[in-house]
Every structure is written in C-alpha cells, then in structure tokens.
Chain A
C-alpha cells in the first residue's frame, strides 16, 4: 500500500488511478497511503468550476486544460456527475467533451459519481485533489455536478471558483438570490454568441455594483464561446490574477486551511457513518424503528437517540 503512494509521488498514472479508487471505496488501508501523500501536496492551484447543467462546464474545462498545456503546465481534472439515489449507478459523461486531451500524458482526467453527497461534490474529492496535487499536477480543475442554486461546497476545495452562466437564465432577481451567486471569484458567461448576452452581462454588473465586492476586489466577468475556443486565454489570465491577489492578501494560506477543515470534517463524518451503519443488524433495527414511527408509537428524535446511544453515552 505504501508502495502505491511512492508510485503516486512519481506521477505513475495507474497508481494514481488505483489510489483514487481506494479513496472512493472507503478502503480501510487507504489512510496509510494518505499519510505519505499529505507532506507532498499543497503546491497545485485548485480551480473549481460550477454552474447550471448544460452551461458548458466540461467544454470550458477541456479548453482551459488545452491552454494550460500550451503554457507547459500539467493538469488534473476531476469531473463529477450525479449518482442515482435510486440505483447507486451513474453515467459519467464529461470525458466526451475533453477528447482532445485523451492521450496527453500531462493530463489526468478522473470522472466521479456524487455517491450520495448533495453539495455538488463527492465525498472523496478532497482525497483526489491531494493525490493529484502530490503526483505533481500544477493545476487541478474540479468540475461540480450541474448545480441549482444552493450547491456551494466547491468553495471549500477551490483556491479560485468560477461560476459559469449562460445568457437567458432569468431576470435580475435570480442574480440577487443567495447561494451560488455568492461564491464566484470569477464569473464566466459562456455561449456568449447567444442572444440575451448583453442583458446577462448588465445584470451581473449591477449585482457586483450593489453587493460590496468582497475584499475590495471587483469580481471580473468574462465571456467565452468555449466550443469555438474563444475567450479561454483571458479566463486563464483572470485566474492567475486571482491567484496573485490571494498571495498578496495572504488569503492563500487561509484557503488551504479551509480545505483541510472541510476534509477533516468529511473524514470524521465518513467514519462516524461507517461506525453507525456497518453493523450487520442495522437495517433490521431501523426497519423496526420505522414501523414504530409509522404507527406513531415513537417519534423520529427518540428513534435517533436509540441508534446513536452507543456514541452519545
């Protein structure tokens, strides 16, 4: 197992892939490898890309990766798609938009299912960022699932967060709502050849005018037509500007600290859940409680106390 970690540190793709699988499967041996990985991570610039379904995130990421490769940087891509809450299966289709990168050994793409997580990411994503970082990737692009309004977990992991919008998503009230519109370090209006682009840009400008721009930095708005390779160079320039801004304001360290906090909380959550749910009798126990709750003989809070008794004691 520790051998696997050494291979990952050398950048071996198969070892990287295998270690990611162990992370996803919650393999008990996995944490030993992470002990070896952790001292070597923290160098990569992690960029989160979020936005509604169909806004062109995958295509944009493909284009950004091509641009980074031109600049001689190595790239890790984590592309997350939803896992079915009904069957546990998933269709991970983001690679379709990244074909040009398929045989470039400076690029490592991993598709992941959400596996029950709701914030737009997946539980093992923190581990995967660490693994890709320690394997020597300069830039890590994390693509969230297509989000609605409230899936904002990406800021816990990203140094720079891009919110991708498309023209014609709704009126100005939409831009004033809480949630996803609060997390951008950079707004990208993709598919900018569509009608309504000027209105979208104007609404974003007025949003930025009214809200105090955070840390006195005015959030830039960029337009792209990712499919036609337009605008991506400028996006990378804006990402780099943000990186410099983080460094100048000492916010970079704070971002790292926040990521480790989120990771730590997630590890604890996972272990607690395993502790509670791994019992072979759990399903049976919960069915009995559900019977009682349905028949109004028991309330859900008391039932939870019963299940958690062994921890809370």
Chain B
C-alpha cells in the first residue's frame, strides 16, 4: 500500500490573483502530495464535483477578493449536503481575523493569511488529514 495525500487547490470567485494558490500547490507537491490544480473562477459546484472525481483528502481554497464568507462556506455546505465531511478544507487569502472563527465553525478547519510560512500549511494538513 502506498497512500498519497491528494489535495485539490481551487480559486473560487472572480479575482485572478493565483500566485498564492500556485505557491501553496508547489509547496504541497514538494511535500510529496498529489496536487490537483483546477485554476481560476471555480464555482462551489465545480470544486465539489472535482473533489468527488479526484477522491481528494483535502480541499485548499484561495480567495483574495473578500468574498470568502460566502464562497468558502458555499463549498463546505455543499460537502455537507453530499456527506463528504471527511475531506479536510483549508482556506487562504486576505481574511480579517474576526472572520476566522466563523469560517472555522462553518468547516474551514485551517485559515491562513498573508505571511504564513508554507511549512505551517504542510504541517497542518499532515496533522489534520482525516482519511
């Protein structure tokens, strides 16, 4: 048995700032994970459908436009509907501190703002991946 952690990296919403998502994708790759990069402008439906087909252990969401409260939670709500809460969901971007507890309550287990070391994200995933 040779299990690998599979991670979906997606950018919901309309902003085109994908540098952060790419850096995280690269770091997870270098940590030995299989990273499925889906690119910009993803809807919650697209993200969850990709997560189903790719049978991922983790979904990483990146958003810099400020719409995280709506779009991140759209994803976790859809996952809940489909009974897929065994997937670890993390998010990153420009996220005010006040929003973090709300997001965590909504199922975004890890929230990472600007200045986060990529090692922190890798460690968080390794420690919290559920499968």
Contact = CB atoms under 8 A, between A and B. Distances in A.
Interface in B34-71: 34-39, 41-43, 45-46, 49-50, 52-55
A103 B34 contact: no
Given A89-B31, A89-B33, A95 B39 contact: yes
A91 B53 contact: no
B53 A109 contact: yes
B45 A87 contact: no
A49 B33 CA distance: 26
A209 to B, nearest CB: 42
Contacts of B114: none
Interface of B: 1-4, 6, 25-26, 28-39, 41-43, 45-46, 49-50, 52-55
Given A21-B55, A26-B2, A110-B54, A87 B49 contact: no
A93 B25 CA distance: 10
Given A20-B55, A102-B49, A109-B53, A96 B37 contact: yes
A18 B55 contact: yes
B52 A14 contact: yes
Nearest to A76: B53
Please provide the 5 A-B residue pairs with the shortest distance between their CB atoms, ordered closest to farther.
A96-B39, A17-B55, A89-B29, A102-B46, A88-B32
A99 interface: yes
A92 interface: yes
B28 A89 contact: yes
B36 A95 contact: yes
A13 B82 CA distance: 12
Given A89-B30, A108-B53, A96 B38 contact: yes
Contact of A90 (B3, B29, B42): B29
A99 B32 contact: no
B29 A25 contact: no
Nearest to B35: A91
Contact of B26 (A26, A28, A91): A91
A28 B3 CA distance: 12
A92 B1 contact: no
Given A91-B37, A99-B46, A109-B53, A84 B29 contact: yes
B5 to A, nearest CB: 9
A226 B49 CA distance: 24
Nearest to A14: B52
B26 A17 contact: no
A83 B26 CA distance: 12
Interface residues on A, range: 20 to 34
16 contacts: A17-B53, A17-B55, A25-B2, A87-B29, A89-B34, A90-B29, A92-B37, A93-B37, A96-B37, A99-B38, A99-B41, A102-B42, A102-B49, A103-B49, A109-B50, A109-B53
Contacts of A113: 4, 34
Interface in A142-185: none
B1 A28 contact: yes
Contact of B36 (A20, A24, A84, A92): A92
B49 A90 contact: no
Contacts of A17: 52-55
Interface in A101-135: 102-103, 108-111, 113, 115
Contacts of B50: 95, 102, 109
Nearest to A95: B38
Contacts of B32: 87-89
Nearest to A24: B4
A158 B107 CA distance: 42
Given A17-B53, A96-B38, A110-B53, A91 B25 contact: yes
Contacts of B53: 13, 16-17, 108-110
